[in-house]
């Protein structure tokens, strides 16, 4: 699933027949690579590294992540392109578009890479990307998020904000994971999550894979609860239905 010459990961826009022969995806007769697919792949590599500790996933993710930052990021205006040419010099395709979900995953990646390297370039790119997203994707008059814009921020098409392939999933993910990553990875402060859970039994309550994050405290129905495993990030629940659980995660 990886291009042997260029190192891109085949994903969105790639098609394989029953014998796993790939059909190249082309725009104007030029084969292209999906930046969104690369961002998703890098985040998956980094999750595998956190889950297993195997540095090969970190090395692969870091290498592909840096290539995506070089080739898929509009350094002049901010924002992540949808598609770039598959081969060097990896130019954005004609009439490039910038999609809402790719901006979101680009922001996640910058916070993850900053956490792993402490290099300011990633945090700077995160800030510029979020400014672009807030300025051009968020409808501050009527609410919601536009699906795509041009590199200069102009709306593409009718400015739609909902479709069968665009619901609130990515926007909710955007707010929740940015809250966790900014607190735990950048500001080095606790983050609080709220759940409604049934007992008895064990529940795993962390939404991040990084083993350096621990449970610092638990409250159930407003009262302190001590039956939790900080390193495993699990809570052993008492008997009951619809229990209100407050979990504090700490870096």
Q: What is the pLDDT of residues 220-250, one digit of tens each?
A: 999 999 999 999 999 999 999 999 999 999 9
pLDDT at 165: 75
Return the minimum-mean-pLDDT range out of 115-129, 133-147, 186-200: 133-147
Best mean pLDDT range from 13-17, 53-57, 141-145, 156-160: 53-57
Cβ 85 vs Cβ 101: under 8 Å: no
pLDDT at 158: 79
Cβ 10 vs Cβ 2: under 8 Å: yes
pLDDT for residue 162 is more than 90: no
pLDDT at 160: 82
Q: What percent of the chain has pLDDT over 70?
A: 100
Asked if the 15-186 domain carries CATH number 1.50.10.10, the reply is yes
Q: Average pLDDT for residues 90-116, to the nearest whole number?
A: 93
> pTM of the prediction?
0.93
Rounded distance between C-alpha atoms, residue 69 and residue 119, angstroms: 13
pLDDT at 159: 81
Which of the pair, 150 or 123, is modelled with greater confidence? 123
SS3 state at 77: coil
Q: Where are the domains of the chain?
A: 15-186, 191-250
Q: Average pLDDT for residues 40-64, to the nearest whole number?
A: 97
pLDDT at 246: 99
Element (H, E) at 31: strand 30-34
Torsion of CA 20, 61, 135, 131, to 10 degrees: -170
pLDDT for residue 164 is more than 80: no
Angle 55-72/35-52 helices, nearest 10 degrees?
A: 160
Q: Average pLDDT for residues 169-196, to the nearest whole number?
A: 96
Q: What is the pLDDT of residues 65-78, one digit of tens each?
A: 999 999 999 999 89
pLDDT at 207: 93
């Amino acid at each position: 699933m990886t291009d042997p010459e260029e190192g891109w990961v085949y994903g969105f826009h790639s098609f394989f027949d029953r014998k796993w022969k790939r059909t190249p995806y082309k725009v104007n007769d030029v084969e292209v690579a999906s930046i969104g697919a690369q961002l998703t792949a890098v985040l998956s590599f980094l999750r595998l590294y956190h889950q297993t500790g195997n540095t090969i996933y970190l090395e692969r993710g870091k290498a592909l992540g840096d290539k995506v930052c070089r080739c898929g990021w509009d350094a002049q205006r901010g924002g992540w392109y949808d598609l770039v040419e598959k081969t060097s010099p990896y130019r954005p395709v004609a009439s490039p578009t910038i999609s809402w979900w790719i901006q979101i995953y680009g922001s996640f990646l910058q916070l993850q890479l900053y956490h792993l390297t402490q290099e300011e370039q990633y945090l700077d790119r995160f800030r510029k990307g979020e400014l672009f997203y807030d300025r051009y994707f968020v409808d501050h008059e009527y609410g919601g998020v536009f699906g795509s814009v041009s590199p200069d921020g102009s709306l593409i098409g009718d400015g739609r904000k909902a479709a069968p392939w665009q619901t609130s999933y990515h926007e909710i993910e955007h707010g929740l994971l940015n809250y966790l990553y900014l607190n735990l990875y950048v500001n080095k402060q606790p983050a609080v999550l709220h759940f409604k859970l049934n007992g008895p039994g064990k529940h795993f309550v962390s939404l991040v894979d990084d083993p350096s994050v621990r449970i610092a405290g638990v409250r159930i129905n407003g009262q302190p609860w001590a039956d939790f495993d900080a390193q495993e990030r699990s809570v052993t629940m008492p008997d009951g239905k619809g229990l209100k659980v407050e979990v504090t995660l700490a870096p």
